[in-house]
Structure 1
Amino acid sequence: MNSVAGKTVVITGSSRGVGADTAKILAGEGANVVVNYRQKAPRANKVIKEIEEAGGKGIAVGADLTDTESVENLFKQAVDTFGSLDVLILNASGGMESDLGEDYAMRLNRDAQDAALTAALKHLSDGGRVVFVTSHQAHFIREVETMDAYVEVAKSKRAGEDQLTSRIPEMTERGVDFVVVSGDMIEGTVTATLLNRAQPGALEARREAAGKLLSVNEFATEIAKMVTADVPTGHVELAGGSGDFPADGGAAQPVG
């Protein structure tokens, strides 16, 4: 895929933050974007309004990734509105919430990602791409320690990455590429805010260790680039960070 112009891109969890900025960037490049939200319709509609005011095309579709029926509807609305599904960006994640059950992190970050891929593969076009967004703290969790408050989330996101990676042969058979984009802690995200609240000073410590943390828009720009980047399926793109994390070699390989 040399250009996203005219292509349909579904971005999960894109009513705010990194997902919203990714949607705006890709819409500015001519993509038809589907902004997915779980509960905050007004926020998602605001993103679409900004996209349309800038001359882009998009729709907002509510879907809880842990609900199979609503996920099926997400992709159906994308295809019904724009005629195709060409790119899926799996950006939604969570697990630090205290009111959604002890197993919520694994249900969302592994099981729901896997189910979303299954639903999307019914519609993804030949030559399409799936992009999984994660963090260095999750990608390298078996090799590098992270903050106590983030350990279970990190493990669940790595489990999700491993599960999706195991399905590369299936995606390849359908003509679909798979790419992972991993970022260090991102300034201004909900996760960074929650971690800093759980462990005061964590954000400043990470900023000092890394030298610089990417902004929401800078990380979104890296994700948008990987939608059309000429890389092999299974590639892992590391955005930001420092020598705290080992060299990855660019291949999404389950650890251990």
Structure 2
Amino acid sequence: MADLTGKTALITGSSRGIGADVAKFLAAEGAAVVVNYRQKAPRANKVVAEIEAAGGKAVAVGADLTAAEGVKALVDAAVSNFGGLDYLVLNASGGMETSMGSDYALALNRDAQVAMLEAAAEVMPAGSRVVFITSHQAHFINDVATMDAYEPVARSKRAGEDALRALIPDMDAKGISFVVVSGDMIEGTITATLLDRAQPGAIEARRADAGRLYSVAEFAAEVAKAVTADLPTGHTEYVGGAESFRK
């Protein structure tokens, strides 16, 4: 990874899991980090405390990405606390929560992603980058069926990826590159846990097919690398197990 001193990164959904580890990796390389949470402030504050204890800079911002004011709050936090925004990592996703309504998956995984990117692009300078995190199950959903319990989420995330890719010409005009990181089922994530609960044995079956599954920290490290890697805009970086989806 490059020296990120003087750069600012915003990672959505970063109070725990993959997003939290990406925030720590980028902060360790010198980036000032905006840690986003929706409800769990103590978790986000803990991530910030760990970054600061290691000598880094970070701020926790509570914001719901499905609300316009939440999106604005995140961009404003990057600018007011650190003077700008250089890297946007679109990590937040969901849709398996039964309490959030039938349209929540599309609202979060497509509409909110587009709104976040458009707002961030207004302040991001030429040479900055947007990274969208998805799963192989979502990325390949048009060609490879997935588990019934995950299909609505997978289709909403694919819709989000397609909507973001449609904005590449606008990003190109601003000098902003766009990269997708697609991963297999990740050990220890809430999505994998919910899927295994809905379809017992799902994690073990996927592990057997892929050979092994990445841990949260291992996958987050690959996402962090993609933030500054020499990759062409529009590139998809596959992390673990993609061969079984590309047969």
TM-score by length of 1: 0.95
Report the 3-state secondary structure (helix = DSSP H, G, I; strand = E; otherwise coil) of the residue aligned with 2:127.
strand
Are 2:171 and 1:171 aligned? yes
Deviation at 1:242, TM superposition (A): 4.6
Deviation at 1:244, TM superposition (A): 1.2
Report the 3-state secondary structure (helix = DSSP H, G, I; strand = E; otherwise coil) of the residue aligned with 1:10.
strand
Counterpart in the other structure of 1:128: 128
Counterpart in the other structure of 1:251: none
Output the aligned Cα RMSD: 1.1
- Give distance in 1, aligned partners of 2:243 and 2:133: 21
Deviation at 1:63, TM superposition (A): 0.6
Aligned pairs (5 A) from 1:26-41: 26-41=26-41
Are 2:179 and 2:234, in contact at CA under 8 Å, matched by a contact in 1? yes
Structure holding more helix per residue: 2
Letter in 1 for 2:172: T
Report the 3-state secondary structure (helix = DSSP H, G, I; strand = E; otherwise coil) of the residue aligned with 1:4.
coil
- Give distance in 2, aligned partners of 1:41 and 1:125: 30
Deviations 1:16-57 (A, max 9, x none): 000000001110111101100001001000000011111111
Letter in 1 for 2:132: F
Are 1:124 and 1:176, in contact at CA under 8 Å, matched by a contact in 2? yes
- Give distance in 2, aligned partners of 1:156 and 1:3: 35
Report the 3-state secondary structure (helix = DSSP H, G, I; strand = E; otherwise coil) of the residue aligned with 1:9.
strand
Letter in 1 for 2:29: E
Deviation at 1:2, TM superposition (A): 4.5
Are 1:4 and 1:29, in contact at CA under 8 Å, matched by a contact in 2? yes
Deviations 1:223-244 (A, max 9, x none): 0000000011000000011531
Report the 3-state secondary structure (helix = DSSP H, G, I; strand = E; otherwise coil) of the residue aligned with 1:212.
coil
Counterpart in the other structure of 1:238: 238
Report the 3-state secondary structure (helix = DSSP H, G, I; strand = E; otherwise coil) of the residue aligned with 1:20.
helix
Report the 3-state secondary structure (helix = DSSP H, G, I; strand = E; otherwise coil) of the residue aligned with 1:149.
coil
Q: What percent of counterpart residues are identical?
A: 67
- Give distance in 2, aligned partners of 1:197 and 1:5: 42
Aligned pairs (5 A) from 1:76-87: 76-87=76-87
Letter in 1 for 2:69: E
The number of residue pairs the alignment matches comes to 247
Q: Once superposed, which parts of structure 1, at least 4 consecutive aligned residues long, lie more than 4 Å away?
A: none
Aligned pairs (5 A) from 1:29-108: 29-108=29-108
Letter in 2 for 1:16: R
Structure 1 unaligned regions, length at least 5: 248-256
TM-score by length of 2: 0.98
- Give distance in 2, aligned partners of 1:242 and 1:111: 26
Are 1:13 and 1:36, in contact at CA under 8 Å, matched by a contact in 2? yes
